[in-house]
Chain A
Amino acid sequence: MGNFLQQLINGVTLGSIYGLIAIGYTMVFGIIGMVNFAHGDVFMLSAFIALIFYLALTQMFGVLSLPLAFILVLLGAMVFTGLWNWAIERVAYRPLRGSFRLAPLISAIGMSIFLSNFVQVVQGPRNKPTPPLFTDLIKVEVGGYDVTLSYKQIMIVSVTALLLAGFWFLVQKTSLGRAQRACEQDRKMAALLGVDVNRTISMTFVIGAMLAAVAGTLYMVYYGVVNFADGAAPGLKAFTAAVFGGIGSLQGAVIGGLIIGLVEVFFSAYFSSDYKDVAPYAILIVTLIFMPSGLLGRPEVEKV
């Protein structure tokens, strides 16, 4: 029981991070029908941006209060990663809009390779350790088993929840969110109503990147180390989460992220940690056989 509770906590923490990344995949897919394969590397890049911000703030500017530093790091990573993704869309995807469907996909793969290599060159190939943050633990004994809940985990889950609430509000209640949903359903009609479609697509990339930046910052804090290759595995798992939840569905991305996180953690706790990466993909395959459009996805039906 105690072990189960412990794994549940770990799984939800990991799942939160996957969920935040998955939203970026699902939003971009929803609005332009493209799988943004560079998104995982945007996430990795954001973790580096966060690290640089953290070091600059604490070493150069002497910010001593950890919560304050953390909030500034979060904001800085969000802004800069948003700018990066904005530029990436302008350079690599927008010129290819209207060309055949595979072209932006190839471009995204190229961008993914560029980003990881770029970070490798400018930051070096070695792991970058990050200073331990939020190291306090809460220990509770449940059924003879010490369940630890770290401040990190509390922080990760609560930041994620707060952000998702804000994000939900943005999509459902603001004019930008409405424009986004309109473009997702019918870009031509949205333009006829005066919506600047290109700008809306740019904003989608910026928002997706900002959520990835939060994930990147939390990832850096959680694991205490960042590496240029860190985009691949979490990126792929978040993509899996988006497909699993039903690509194009925002709730699906979050639920998919949580499930993938939980499956991964439980599998490594109860079966084998060597095969922990196999479990999420196996579940994905089985789900897609029976529910081809994912948990909450819409079946592809042409409008009449």
Chain B
Amino acid sequence: MSATLLALRGVETCYGNIIALRGVDIDVNEGEIVALIGANGAGKSTLMMTISGDPRARRGSITFAGRDITKTPTHEIARLGIAQSPEGRRIFARMSVLENLQMGAAVCGSGHFVEDVERMFAIFPRLKERAQQRGGTLSGGEQQMLAIARALMSRPRLLMLDEPSLGLAPLIVKLIFDVIADLNKTQGLTVFLVEQNAHHALRLAHRAYVLVNGAVAMQGAGRELLERPEIRAAYLEGGQ
């Protein structure tokens, strides 16, 4: 087993008086794809943002690469090598695609900017066609590609993706999941993925956690969870 890259222990997060996370323990190992699935409002996005320090965990600890980041400011967490493509993509609408990518590279300086942009354009050729266009004019799928590419521009040690499949056509979802799998396989990129689309996520992930009402209800290998009847009932067949 490879080294633990990210470890959450007893993490509790609140919004005012509302408790969003109740003592979450999660490990993400180097080179793994870990998925976090759960229903709307289970606290998935809150968990992701808590790792980035916004909002802050009220209790518990978050360790990244052996360093306690529970109280580290958000921008410094990013500089340590955690890149996030957050809920809602948050593309800078009044900046061009290229400028959005430049913002992604803000952390690591401009040393290998040109090379990295070429790499992103190779992964997502659509972005190349749109390079000078404003972020706000892109379609949903293109914005998602841009959000992932922007996160990758910082050459992160841990890539966190919040619902990369949300609202996208099946073909684009497949493209994006293929890209994630490929980056993991060829470059050993560690990925922590939040998904409502449990089917896709569990097939992609090495391991997965199920979050219910702000607490981890189940965990296991992705494929194994996929077979469990309670998961099938709650997250896979429930809507059908």
Residues of A with Cβ closer than 8 Å to B?
A: 175, 178-179, 181-182, 185-186, 188-197, 303
Chain B contact residues, CB within 8 Å of chain A: 52, 54, 73-76, 78-79, 83-84, 86, 90, 92-95, 99, 102-104, 106-107, 110, 150, 154
> Do B95 and A182 have beta carbons less than 8 Å apart?
yes
Known contacts A178-B99, A188-B54, A189-B86; A194/B92 CB under 8 A: no
Instruction: Report the Cα distance A197→B54, complex, angstroms.
Output: 13
Prevailing SS type, chain A contact patch = helix
Q: Report A147 CB to chain B, min CB distance, Å.
A: 42
Closest A residue to B110 by beta carbon equals A175
Complex Cα distance A104/B73, Å?
Answer: 23
A178 and B103 form a contact (CB under 8 A): yes
Whether A193 touches B93, Cβ cut-off 8 Å, given contacts A178-B99, A188-B54, is no
Query: What residues of chain B lie closer than 8 Å to A303, measured between beta carbons?
Result: 93
Given contacts A191-B54, A192-B74, 14 further A-B contacts (CB under 8 A): A175-B106, A178-B95, A178-B103, A181-B92, A185-B92, A190-B103, A191-B52, A192-B90, A193-B78, A193-B103, A193-B104, A194-B107, A197-B75, A303-B93
Contact residues in B for A188 (Cβ distance below 8 Å): 54, 86, 90
Q: How far is the CA of A185 from the CA of B102 in the complex (A)?
A: 15
User: Are the CB atoms of B94 and A181 closer together than 8 Å?
Assistant: yes
Task: Write out the residue numbers on chain B whose beta carbons fall within 8 Å of the beta carbon of A175.
Answer: 102, 106, 110
- Distance between B9 CB and nearest chain A CB, rounded to angstroms: 23
Chain A residues with CB below 8 A from B75, complex form: 191, 193-197
Of chain A, the residue at the smallest CB distance from B79 is A194
The answer to whether B106 touches A179 (Cβ under 8 A) is yes
Residues of B within 8 A of A178 (CB): 95, 99, 102-103, 106
Interfacial chain A residues near B94, Cβ < 8 Å: 181, 185
Bound-complex Cα distance A195 to B90 (A): 15
* Chain B residues with CB below 8 A from A193, complex form: 75, 78, 83, 103-104, 106-107, 150, 154
- In the complex, A175 Cα to B103 Cα: how many Å? 8
Q: Contact check, A189 vs B90: say whether CB atoms are below 8 A apart.
A: yes
**Residues of A contacting B93 with CB < 8 Å?**
185, 303
Q: Are B54 and A189 in contact (CB under 8 A)?
A: no
Kindly state the separation between the CA atoms of A192 and B100 in the bound complex, as whole angstroms.
13
Q: Name which residue of chain A comes closest to B99, CB basis.
A: A178
